[in-house]
Amino acid sequence: MKLQKRIEDAITAATCEKAEFDQARIAAGGCINDSRIVTLRDGREFFIKTGGGEVLYPGFFEAEFVALSLLGEPGVIRVPRPVIFEEEFIVIEAFREGRPADDWHERMGRQLAELHLATQSDRFGFERDNYLGTTRQPNDWSDDWVTFWREQRLGWQLDLFARRTDTGDPLLAMGDRLLAKLDEFLGDVDERAVLLHGDLWSGNASADERGIPIIFDPASYFGHREAEIGMMRLFGGFGPRCETAYQEVWPLPPGADDRITLYRLYHELNHLNLFGRSYYETCLSTMKSLL
């Protein structure tokens, strides 16, 4: 009850309207937090996450609040509006999922390209570290994309895996070879950084009550825009209609497919580190295809 009172008081302060819980129902929202849709006595609804994440994952809710705020700022794709956060909870605008419109994939592609165009930056990184699932994602600012990807993305995931395996593991040896060749893959990237959702798979995108795209649960940072597509291709769900529409707004330069495969590998390695050896052969296969 103490936590409920704190959340009510926080909503009251953020919205300038008295907040009193009436009822709540369980909602999907990740495995480390308790997620509920809460209806207040005045009929307003909010999506609220609470749970043990603040102990193991400090700054988890703050990072999500900042990312949702920045993603929604350009107003080109719908993002649930964050209301307030504290260490133990985050309150977000609730929305009702609907049936995707017939042109949902095309809208997603166009709006994602418009988001990227609207959020360009001269530096790679983010204002704070955040989490990709439950993996801490370092985001120190860098002026060089190859260095950022080598040290804070691919190299970071390989270092995490090295703590779990033998020094002679073939995947680590192949990873070292790939790190040494990053300049060949990424050295010609001369685009500015853009704000990425960072974890854009089909489970973190949906349709709202109007059938239009809505994205949530980000792991945002400023990076090369093709890195977004790397995650989008990992489990499918977006497909060629979405990518074609993206390129109608902002075409991808030559060599994109190899770079996107490299970016997908980062997420495959993260799944290896989070969920175990079932992703080992996938990572090995992707590395072989690049080398």
Chain segment 142-155, per-residue pLDDT in tens: 999 999 999 999 99
pLDDT-derived band at 29, boundaries 50, 70, 90? low
pLDDT-derived band at 52, boundaries 50, 70, 90? low
232-236 average pLDDT score: 92
User: Residue 132: which H helix or E strand, with range?
Assistant: strand 130-132
Chain segment 254-289, per-residue pLDDT in tens: 999 999 999 999 999 999 999 999 999 999 999 999
Q: Is the pTM of this model over 0.75?
A: yes
pLDDT at 271: 97
Angle, in degrees to the nearest 10, between helices 170-180 and 280-290: 30
Q: Is the per-residue pLDDT at 41 higher than 60?
A: yes
pLDDT-derived band at 27, boundaries 50, 70, 90? confident
Place of tokens 């999907």: 28
pLDDT-derived band at 33, boundaries 50, 70, 90? confident
Cα R_g (the chain), whole angstroms? 20
Chain segment 106-128, per-residue pLDDT in tens: 999 999 999 999 999 999 999 99
With b for 16 or more beta-carbon neighbours within 10 A and e for fewer, the 177-198 pattern comes to: ebeeebeebbeeeeeebbbbbb
Active site residues: 199
- 35 vs 1, which has greater pLDDT? 35
pLDDT-derived band at 204, boundaries 50, 70, 90? very high
pLDDT at 131: 95
Q: What is the dihedral of CA 31, 283, 152, 91, to 10 degrees?
A: -20
pLDDT at 85: 95
pLDDT at 53: 56
pLDDT-derived band at 62, boundaries 50, 70, 90? very high
**Could you tell me if residue 92 is left (phi over 0), alpha (psi between -120 and 50 degrees) or otherwise beta?**
beta
Q: Is the per-residue pLDDT at 32 higher than 80?
A: no
pLDDT at 56: 75
